[in-house]
Amino acid sequence: MDSPMRLSRYFLPLLKENPSEAQIVSHRLMLRTGMIRQEAAGIYAWLPLGLKVLKKVEKIVEEEMARAGAIQLLMPTLQLADLWRESGRYEDYGQEMLRIKDRHEREMLYGPTNEEMITEIFRGTVKSYKDLPLNLYHIQWKFRDEQRPRFGVMRGREFLMKDAYSFDIDEASARKAYNRMFVAYLNTFGRMGLKAVPMRADTGPIGGDLSHEFIILADTGESAVFCHRDLVDMPTPGNDVDWDDLQGIVDGRTSLYAATEEMHNPDDFAAVPADKQLSARGIEVGHIFYFGEKYSKPMKAVVNGPEGEITVHMGSYGVGVSRLLGAIIEASHDEAGIIWPESVAPFDVGLINLRAGDEACDAACEKAYKALAAAGREVLYDDRDDRPGAKFASMDLIGIPWQLIIGPKGLAEGKVEIKNRATGERHTADFDEVLAQLTKAKA
């Protein structure tokens, strides 16, 4: 990790003006802050700042998956068409699937998802019911050839997705696997400063109640959602839970009304007390699904049990990792720019030298820069020879949680200023005092 960085040597192509193609705030801000750059419709290059945040989001997802007992692997982006013929989806998937032929005219595809492949891996390696339950996941780039990509990374064609797949001996056990992902998702999104509401989703031909979309409320969300207001501010379960029995937690979240437009039932919604009814717009950042034997049966994913062969029950659990960046920005910004939650911020502290070239300012900034770096803080030091106003604007735009502002006037009295990006609160204090505060262990 390239923690401390001088802005003069960084690659951060900021835009002062709004690119005309960006319609929603997260897209605009991601372009303006030099996080991403569009290379084709719905396809983006991730520039250093964007990549840093992407990695942080990814890491939180990985940590929470591990806590829930899921095991990481990595499947390829390209898959053989024959694999998809086994499940019948090669024909079903339609134009959204990007189909490719290699030099031998073999039919291949750029994976839009991995149910078939994980099932193939499972059936070739797991033979005994004693190896269950099992949850395997990966974080990989996917491609869906959307008819109309839009909103930047929120609805791209190429996107980074975490997809987990659970294998269980029966439906009861699969439900436990489902609950583990349910709770893991609440914790994952909570750590990113998001209030995610699980909402009943369409289970398609499988039926049952085991599919939920995790929705972030935001005015620019793509779908209309309806829910009980109390769901929005429920605390996340945290890690101190009994991973073998999560039904109570799940029931607590699913007993109140919550549905997206497709699943909305106005009569049931009317039963929610009027002051608790919330109709809003939302962004889908996760989707969990139990689909039983849909793939295991046609693809013959079976294990040996005490009384013979058992076709495994499966579920899949997706998180739109790249989309989350858009969602976080939608949920956390103001007129000046992005306001990163500390957990995913590209840097912890933005150090502003108000008078680059001034001996005292340079020296004080160097001292702060080194002290912060030594304390493990990720610092972005604006050492450019630019005017204060430009530096403030840049730092507000990219949304680093804390700004340490060092200028000649304050420094003459041994004072520096510290500003909280989220609250706008700023106070002046002794240089050493502020340094001590910022180099304390992370809360």
Partner RNA sequence: CGGGGCGUAGCGCAGCCUGGUAGCGCGUCUGCUUCGGGAGCAGAAGGCCGGAGGUUCGAAUCCUCUCGCCCCGACCA
Q: Residue numbers of the site for RNA (CB under 7 A)?
A: 14-21, 23, 38, 40-42, 95, 144, 146-151, 153-157, 159, 161, 213, 222-223, 284-287, 318-320, 322-323, 336, 354-355, 357, 387-390, 392-394, 396-397, 405-411, 417, 419, 426
- Please tell me the distance from the alpha carbon of residue 82 to that of residue 108, in angstroms, as a whole number: 8
We find the least distance from the C-beta atom of residue 25 to RNA, in angstroms, to be: 12
Output the CA–CA distances (angstroms, integers) from residue 288 to 162, 166, 380, in the order listed: 11, 11, 37
* SS3 at position 58: helix
- Please tell me the distance from the alpha carbon of residue 296 to that of residue 87, in angstroms, as a whole number: 9
Q: What angle do CA 243, 244, 249 make, to 5 degrees?
A: 65
- Please tell me the distance from the alpha carbon of residue 65 to that of residue 54, in angstroms, as a whole number: 16
- Please tell me the distance from the alpha carbon of residue 119 to that of residue 79, in angstroms, as a whole number: 13
Quick check: bond before 306 cis, omega within 30?
Answer: no
> What residue type is 8 in one-letter code?
S
> What is the 8-class DSSP label of residue 229?
G
* SS3 at position 122: helix
- Please tell me the distance from the alpha carbon of residue 417 to that of residue 411, in angstroms, as a whole number: 10
We find the least distance from the C-beta atom of residue 265 to RNA, in angstroms, to be: 18
We find the least distance from the C-beta atom of residue 172 to RNA, in angstroms, to be: 25
> Measured from the CB atom, is 4 or 326 closer to RNA?
326
| Helix 321-331 × helix 25-32 angle, to 10° | 100
We find the least distance from the C-beta atom of residue 7 to RNA, in angstroms, to be: 11
> Measured from the CB atom, is 155 or 264 closer to RNA?
155
User: Cα torsion for 310, 120, 62, 397, to the nearest 10°?
Assistant: -130
We find the least distance from the C-beta atom of residue 286 to RNA, in angstroms, to be: 6
We find the least distance from the C-beta atom of residue 264 to RNA, in angstroms, to be: 14
| Gyration radius (Cα) of the chain, Å | 24
- Please tell me the distance from the alpha carbon of residue 346 to that of residue 51, in angstroms, as a whole number: 9
> Measured from the CB atom, is 306 or 357 closer to RNA?
357
> Measured from the CB atom, is 145 or 170 closer to RNA?
145
> Measured from the CB atom, is 208 or 376 closer to RNA?
208
> Measured from the CB atom, is 217 or 310 closer to RNA?
217
Residue in the structure block whose two tokens are 């990007």: 98
| CB atoms near residue 13 (< 10 Å) | 14
We find the least distance from the C-beta atom of residue 412 to RNA, in angstroms, to be: 9
What is the phi/psi pair of residue 281, to 5°?
-115, 155
We find the least distance from the C-beta atom of residue 313 to RNA, in angstroms, to be: 20
- Please tell me the distance from the alpha carbon of residue 23 to that of residue 31, in angstroms, as a whole number: 11
- Please tell me the distance from the alpha carbon of residue 405 to that of residue 416, in angstroms, as a whole number: 6
> Measured from the CB atom, is 47 or 132 closer to RNA?
47
> Measured from the CB atom, is 116 or 284 closer to RNA?
284
We find the least distance from the C-beta atom of residue 387 to RNA, in angstroms, to be: 4
> Measured from the CB atom, is 274 or 412 closer to RNA?
412
> Measured from the CB atom, is 348 or 417 closer to RNA?
417
- Please tell me the distance from the alpha carbon of residue 376 to that of residue 388, in angstroms, as a whole number: 27
We find the least distance from the C-beta atom of residue 41 to RNA, in angstroms, to be: 3
